Chains A and B, each alone.
Chain A
Amino acid sequence: MITSFVLKALDRNIVWVTALLLVIAALVPALNLMTAPDHPLHIPTYIVSLVGKYLTYALLALALDLVWGFCGILSLGHAAFFALGGYAMGMYLMRQIGARGSYGNPLLPDFMVFLNWKELPWFWYGFDMFWFAALMAVLVPGLLGFVFGWFAFRSRVNGVYLSIITQAMTFALLLAFFRNDMGFGGNNGLTDFKDILGFNIQSNGTRSALFAASAIALALSLVITSGIVRSKYGKVLIGVRDAESRTRFLGYRVEHMKLFAFTVSAMMAGVAGALYVPQVGIINPGEFEPANSIEVVIWTAVGGRGTLIGPIVGAILVNGGKSIFTAAFPEFWLFALGGLFVVVTLFLPRGIVGTARQVIERRREYRKVRQAEAARAIAAEPQAAE
């Protein structure tokens, strides 16, 4: 059952990208750790962390593609799931600080001591264990996605209305996390991390390991999503996107179909967030900004929605561009981003990967027609000679 699911997932492009990600997962850390800083192939640590961050963004965009590209649910709140996964990881990292914080309290993180709290809130229990935090990084976004989707899809909220309430969801969480009495560090969020699993979070080795983990998580998620969209369930999902009522009248429970995709997507976004936080060293309510979720939509659209590989390409390209652009012309970045979105919408509605695929397909068809013509001409020739 599982084997056939995986086998079906592996079309040629997916195999290539997965293999590439796994090679990068091994090669980049090796080049960072095993070469001297003056070696021509040396990859400096800041690049490792930067690209590692892009990979987590790519995972977030991939998660969005599952619901937007294949099921037509334009979620403008996916950064909320990402941020929740990030907070789960951040809570673990805070508890790892232990007595090394500025106030030296072995149990309470600094911000709680500052707020005069005497004991750890109940929802911080268990976060001193990595496995628990890792589980929560998946379960909490998954649960939010499930509950949100349960109500939204059952009441048949669709299209723009759904997009608006996803924005409202992330905005509500933004406001909630800003409050100090929520117990998540308020405005400042969680930062000043020291260790992860006992390793110094700033060491080259740890950064390389986090990079590799991000690449592997992305590769794994790519195979899983590919399996999902190529199964019969995935075909139903596309059916829901293209003709929802037809799917309903064929006897499928559209709300269940959407709910599963949305929940899986939220969980993947949570994993991305959990990998993001140790690499950037901070998580604060700013991650819930509605604009962040909209940026994810742009990456996905630029790369090509409904292609799985496109969102990965889009997230890496746009963020790479952002890093270069904001260093060179910081004040123009937002204009560039807006311009990019307009250009892609007008001239590349299928995104980079979608357009490339279309070109290849057209060429193949053209060649087929030419071959058929040639074959006919050859077949016709002897008769003409007679």
Chain B
Amino acid sequence: MNTLASNAKPTSILYLDGVSVSFDGFKALNSLSFVIEPGELRAIIGPNGAGKTTMMDIITGKTRPDSGEVFFKGTVDLTQKDEAEIAQLGIGRKFQKPTVFESHTVWDNLELALNRKRGVFSTLFYRLTAEDKERIEEILSTVRLTNRKDDYAANLSHGQKQWLEIGMLLAQEPELLLVDEPVAGMTDAETTETALLLKEIAKTRSVVVVEHDMGFIRDLGVKVTCLAEGSVLAEGSIDFVSADPKVIENYLGR
């Protein structure tokens, strides 16, 4: 597996090679390797405990791997950086449970997420510019929350919170977006809309989606990586992956 991608490293946006990490003897990731190309939309599936969330933790700097390489844009070693630095480099992350600032308005949530200077003093004396205002308005309409911009995020529906969080990631202007189960708990209509939204987003940046919902992944119609027990089981189109006997045995069930 480790040789799979070394020649792809310079041109990739995200490059993982032989990444392993264990917690109290449990191997959460076992020599995980894969490559995301710039502009790619990739779906990652796998049973519970396959290491999907741990993988995201490693990419975003929350967890340090025991061994292996993680590179952003071929040259930036992510294992040496912390969450804030990685976010500033241009990697956004959406959590499984929608995580927004509930006691702030929708507008303030987006204002905080905007890709501006994030130091203590630059935020202390920050003033909302016309340009920033326009950007926030634009994102509000992308995530369909314009008419709720003055409401507290706590009062949004579950699906709206998910979208707000996606909106916050857009405001961050990341080059790579990691999205953890974006449609969990959504209605069918919301799920379809979310698929459209993600495809729209993926036109201008790379997106990695972790999802359980096979219908949603079919909607996305992209390359799929199936994880199991901390490493890649199969990779390819959804039909190719779901026909793989190993995947059927491990994940889809007999």
* Chain A residues within 8 Å of B, Cβ to Cβ: 1, 4-5, 228, 231-233, 235-236, 238-239, 242-243, 245-254, 256-257, 260
Cβ-defined partner of A231 (8 Å) among B93, B100, B124: B124
**Residue B108 lies at the interface, judged by CB distance under 8 Å to chain A:** yes
Which chain A positions have C-beta within 8 A of B113?
Answer: 250
Q: Which residue of A lies closest to B83 (CB)?
A: A248
Cβ-defined partner of B100 (8 Å) among A246, A253, A254: A246
For this complex, 28 residue pairs linking A to B, each with C-beta atoms less than 8 Å apart, are A1-B125, A4-B127, A231-B123, A232-B123, A232-B124, A233-B120, A233-B123, A235-B108, A235-B112, A236-B123, A242-B102, A243-B102, A245-B95, A245-B99, A246-B100, A248-B83, A248-B84, A249-B83, A249-B87, A249-B93, A250-B168, A250-B172, A251-B85, A251-B87, A251-B172, A256-B119, A256-B120, A257-B120
Task: Flag if B84 contacts A252 (CB, 8 Å).
Answer: yes
Which chain B positions have C-beta within 8 A of A243?
Answer: 99-102
Cβ-defined partner of A246 (8 Å) among B99, B108, B120: B99
* Chain B residues within 8 Å of A, Cβ to Cβ: 60, 62, 83-85, 87-88, 92-93, 95, 99-104, 108, 111-113, 115, 118-120, 123-127, 168, 172
Task: Flag if A238 contacts B103 (CB, 8 Å).
Answer: yes
Which chain B positions have C-beta within 8 A of A235?
Answer: 101, 104, 108, 111-112
Known: A232-B112, A233-B120, A256-B119. A242 touches B103 (CB 8 A): yes
Which chain B positions have C-beta within 8 A of A245?
Answer: 62, 83, 95, 99
Cβ-defined partner of B125 (8 Å) among A5, A248, A260: A5
Q: Which 10 A-B pairs have the closest CB atoms?
A: A251-B87, A233-B123, A232-B126, A233-B124, A248-B83, A251-B88, A232-B123, A246-B99, A260-B120, A239-B101
Q: Which residue of A lies closest to B124 (CB)?
A: A233
Task: Flag if A250 contacts B112 (CB, 8 Å).
Answer: yes
Number of A-B residue pairs, CB cutoff 8 Å, is 80
Instruction: Tell me the smallest distance from the CB of A238 to a CB of chain B, in Å.
Output: 6
Instruction: Tell me the smallest distance from the CB of A302 to a CB of chain B, in Å.
Output: 21
Task: Flag if A248 contacts B87 (CB, 8 Å).
Answer: yes
Q: Which residue of A lies closest to B120 (CB)?
A: A260
| 20 extra interface residue pairs, beta carbon distance < 8 Å, beyond A4-B125, A239-B101 | A231-B124, A232-B126, A233-B120, A238-B101, A239-B104, A242-B101, A242-B102, A242-B104, A243-B100, A243-B101, A245-B62, A247-B112, A249-B87, A250-B87, A251-B85, A251-B87, A251-B88, A256-B119, A257-B120, A260-B120
Q: In whole angstroms, what is the CA distance A236 to B108 when docked? A: 10
Q: Which residue of A lies closest to B60 (CB)?
A: A249
Q: In whole angstroms, what is the CA distance A231 to B102 when docked? A: 18
Instruction: Tell me the smallest distance from the CB of A133 to a CB of chain B, in Å.
Output: 28
Q: Which residue of A lies closest to B109 (CB)?
A: A239
Which chain A positions have C-beta within 8 A of B120?
Answer: 233, 256-257, 260
Q: In whole angstroms, what is the CA distance A256 to B118 when docked? A: 10
Which chain A positions have C-beta within 8 A of B103?
Answer: 238, 242
Instruction: Tell me the smallest distance from the CB of B163 to a CB of chain A, in Å.
Output: 15
Q: Which residue of B lies closest to A248 (CB)?
A: B83
Which chain B positions have C-beta within 8 A of A242?
Answer: 101-104
